[in-house]
Amino acid sequence: MAMLAIRTRDLTKDFPVGFWRPRPYRALDRLTLDVAQGEVFGFLGPNGAGKTTTLKLLMQLVFPSSGEAEILGRPLGDLGVRRRTGYLPENPYFYDHLTAEELLDYYGRLFGMAAADRRKRAASALDRLGVGAERRLQLRKFSKGMLQRVGLAQAVFNEPDVLFLDEPMSGLDPLGRRDVRALMLELRDQGRTIFFSSHILSDAEALCSQVAIVAKGRLAAAGRLADMREFAVHGWELVMAGVPAAALDRVRQRARRVLTIAGDRYAIELASDGRPEEMLRELTATGATLVSLNPLRETLEDVFVKRVEEMGEGARG
């Protein structure tokens, strides 16, 4: 069997809560996960589900209460492995007084890179992430989105085999999101493993080969997103403009629901077996034009809620 990029077994973390008679709060409960090399792995869950805790455990920023984990077949904390990994923390923060260039130079020294190598890698990573002339400004002058880009640059500039990204899209504008998606796919094509956390389903849909869903510190589901029953298409939403009144009656008979958006523009909701292609063909024949056609499926939030409810009170005291 090929070596796994990430392997966790019953990884558990309790944080003591309360000053007087502190009691343990279980942030992560017996997480067992295998991530193969070369995979883009989405680690999904609502806020407070234990995503960041898991990443911190893997980065040894916090230590497990029980259980174990390996990265590239080596136990956590192995300095050799850290040379081959990259990490973007959630809302990354660096040093106010350093410029982006100096930051990468500092980190490059820790990797033991030679001066010329440091310069070259820093420049190419900052170029790749779209950090232009700002790289000579001190980081305290950076916006949240720019810091996120610098954070990504420092995570990838050592050309890691395994990349850990905690909410990589957060703080980015649509353009930034697009850039980051492109970067992730590029890294995937180079055979690198990407383990990223997100609470946004569309990010996962666009990028991931595999996902794991966590809720309340527990693994709720893992596998291919397409195989997950909850995410199957349960209907279609067809938005058409210029629909003649005569055609509308026929539509109403076959649609689950028809909503008037404005004037002669309608949102037509069809069942999953409602064959939207046929409806589209018929309506365009009457002179109507297509505005949009979208599959309807449960959002990640819906699934989270459902899973959390399923886990119920019985499982957690």
93-152 binders of other proteins (CB under 8 A): 93-95, 97-98, 102, 106-107, 109-112, 138, 151
Closest CB to other proteins among residues 110, 226:
110
Q: Fill in the DSSP letter of residue 140.
A: G
Tokens of 43: 């680690």
Listed residue (186, 220, 202) closest to 40, CA to CA: 186
User: Does the protein bind other proteins through residue 154 (CB under 8 A)?
Assistant: yes
Q: Rounded to 10 degrees, what is the CA torsion of 56, 60, 63, 64? A: 70
Q: How far apart are CA 13 and CA 25, in angstroms?
A: 8
Q: In angstroms, give the least distance from the CB of 220 to other proteins.
A: 24
Q: In angstroms, give the least distance from the CB of 82 to other proteins.
A: 4
Q: Binders of other proteins: how many residues, by CB under 8 A?
A: 35
User: Does the protein bind other proteins through residue 236 (CB under 8 A)?
Assistant: no
User: Does the protein bind other proteins through residue 171 (CB under 8 A)?
Assistant: no
Facing residues of 85 across strands?
162
**What stretches of the chain show up as alpha helix (H) in DSSP?**
51-58, 79-82, 100-110, 115-128, 144-156, 174-189, 201-207, 245-254, 276-285, 300-315
Q: How far apart are CA 1 and CA 37, in angstroms?
A: 11
**Which residues, 6 or more positions from 259, have their beta carbon under 8 angstroms from its beta carbon?**
266, 267, 268, 269
Q: In angstroms, give the least distance from the CB of 121 to other proteins.
A: 14
Q: In angstroms, give the least distance from the CB of 60 to other proteins.
A: 7
Closest CB to other proteins among residues 107, 266:
107
Find the binder of other proteins among 6, 35, 44, 88 (CB under 8 A): 88
Find the binder of other proteins among 33, 42, 51, 87 (CB under 8 A): 87
User: Does the protein bind other proteins through residue 85 (CB under 8 A)?
Assistant: yes
Q: How far apart are CA 200 and CA 220, in angstroms?
A: 16
39-78 binders of other proteins (CB under 8 A): 56, 59-63
User: Does the protein bind other proteins through residue 165 (CB under 8 A)?
Assistant: no
Cβ atoms of residues 25 and 193 within 8 Å = no
Find the binder of other proteins among 46, 92, 171, 235 (CB under 8 A): 92
Task: Give residues in contact with other proteins (CB under 8 A).
Answer: 15, 56, 59-63, 79-80, 82-83, 85-89, 91-95, 97-98, 102, 106-107, 109-112, 138, 151, 154-155, 164
